[in-house]
């Protein structure tokens, strides 16, 4: 990773007030994002994974200030995003774009593709009419469409084509950074690979940097340089993608990975279903937030929030993983194998067969 990351997120918090009663008094807060830190170097991709409701989408939106963070810092190319307002924030937003999950809902059905693509250019006052047209044509071509699309409406396109249009809408502003929020999960499986390959090509051709948010660990493995695993508003494990997939240390990461279909029998592991629901982010459990669902939970897990243990760039927040790492002299693969063995032991009432993603 280069010395100066393009994006640096530190202690990010996004809490939403819970209000009750006639006076709408605040009685609590939902801690959707609760102290998230990571950095992404230029031209790199960070995969942010976790179950639905873990806060990963809120992280992406908070970085772009589509929702206002309540704490922490976000720096983009050295600029303090949270301290930026007015025209400076608008200029920053041109450089940081987002592609949403739903290609049906994210394109206004009453607007032509030309109007959809031109909207951002007009807002940011970019180019003359002729220059804007040229930019729109170029963005469409980059996503595998032609200028003929400009006069048509979203309903005239398939789901995959609509997502290409959504990507073109982001590209037309010539951004440096894209938040890709589950960009292929609403598409047919046969189309997903095409769009993922397009994203890889665009990253190489245009030198883009991605935050790739997904619950699909196979797609993340293919695309990401690093992966961060989120649970209940926090990152519980973060490492280079190959290191994380080779040696997942956190019991939650192992449970997520156990549900990934593998063709290679050597990479298959026993599928783990976590019992119990994800606790409410309005009232997270004390100690380790994962302890009510963790088959390895010990007394300390219920009382003490596990600090970060970092070995060779691999960060994990888990008391048991930290202990096994220490016993293994910092060898993540040995420690991960021990954690896997422990999780494979039958522990009454905490682990059952099946799957969970
Ligand atoms: Fe499980 Fe304890 Fe590790 Fe949390 S700290 S993941 S409860 S073993």
Tell me if 248 CB under 6 Å of ligand 1: no
Mean pLDDT of the chain: 91
Environment class of 133 (CB within 10 Å of its CB; exposed 0-12, middle 13-18, buried 19+): middle
Determine which residue's CA is closest to atom 5 belonging to ligand 1. Answer: 318
* pLDDT tens figures, 91-135: 999 999 999 988 778 899 999 999 999 999 999 999 999 999 999
In this prediction, residue 99 carries a pLDDT of: 95
Residue 143 has pLDDT above 70, yes or no: yes
Residue 348 has pLDDT above 70, yes or no: no
Distance 207 CA to ligand 1 centre (A): 38
For the chain, where are the E strands, in sequence order? 7-20, 25-40, 45-49, 71-76, 79-80, 96-99, 177-181, 209-214, 226-231, 234-240, 273-274, 309-311, 314-316, 351-352
Tell me if 291 CB under 6 Å of ligand 1: yes
For 186, phi and psi rounded to 5 degrees? Answer: -90, 0
Distance 265 CA to ligand 1 centre (A): 28
**Which pTM does this prediction carry?**
0.91
pLDDT band of residue 354 (cuts 50, 70, 90) is very low
Tell me if 288 CB under 6 Å of ligand 1: yes
Q: Which domains does the chain have, with CATH numbers?
A: 7-19+27-228 (3.40.50.300), 250-344 (no CATH)
Distance 321 CA to ligand 1 centre (A): 8
Residue 55 DSSP one-character state: S
In this prediction, residue 3 carries a pLDDT of: 58
In this prediction, residue 350 carries a pLDDT of: 44
């Amino acid at each position: 990773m280069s010395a100066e990351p393009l994006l640096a997120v530190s202690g990010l918090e996004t809490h939403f007030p819970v209000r009750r009663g006639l006076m709408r008094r605040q009685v609590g807060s939902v801690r959707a994002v609760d102290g998230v830190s990571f950095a992404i170097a230029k031209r790199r991709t960070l995969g942010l994974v976790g179950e639905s409701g873990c806060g990963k989408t809120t992280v992406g939106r908070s970085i772009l200030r589509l929702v206002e963070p309540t704490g922490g810092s976000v720096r983009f190319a050295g600029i303090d995003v949270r301290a930026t307002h007015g025209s400076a924030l608008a200029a920053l937003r041109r450089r940081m774009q987002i592609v949403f999950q739903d290609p049906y809902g994210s394109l206004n059905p009453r607007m032509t593709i030309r109007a959809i693509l031109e909207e951002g250019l007009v807002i940011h006052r970019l180019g003359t009419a002729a220059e804007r047209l040229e930019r729109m044509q170029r963005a469409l071509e980059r996503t595998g469409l032609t200028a003929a699309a400009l006069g048509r409406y979203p309903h005239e396109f398939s789901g995959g084509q609509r997502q290409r249009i959504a990507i073109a809408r982001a590209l037309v502003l010539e951004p440096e950074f894209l938040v890709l929020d589950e960009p292929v999960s609403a598409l047919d499986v046969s189309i997903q690979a095409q769009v993922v390959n397009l994203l890889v090509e665009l990253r190489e051709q245009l030198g883009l940097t991605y935050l790739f948010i997904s619950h699909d660990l196979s797609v993340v493995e293919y695309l990401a340089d690093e992966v961060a695993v989120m649970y209940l508003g926090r990152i519980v494990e973060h490492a280079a993608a190959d290191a994380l997939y080779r040696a997942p240390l956190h019991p939650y990461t192992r449970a997520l990975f156990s549900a990934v279909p593998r063709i290679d029998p050597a990479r298959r592991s026993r599928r783990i279903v976590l019992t119990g629901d994800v606790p409410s982010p309005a009232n997270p459990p004390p100690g380790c937030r994962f302890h009510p669902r963790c088959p390895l939970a010990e007394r300390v897990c219920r009382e003490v929030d596990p600090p970060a243990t970092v070995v060779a760039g691999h960060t994990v927040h888990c008391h048991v993983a930290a202990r096994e790492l220490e016993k293994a002299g910092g060898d993540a693969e040995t420690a991960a194998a021990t954690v896997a063995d422990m999780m494979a032991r039958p522990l009454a009432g905490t682990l059952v067969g099946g799957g969970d993603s």
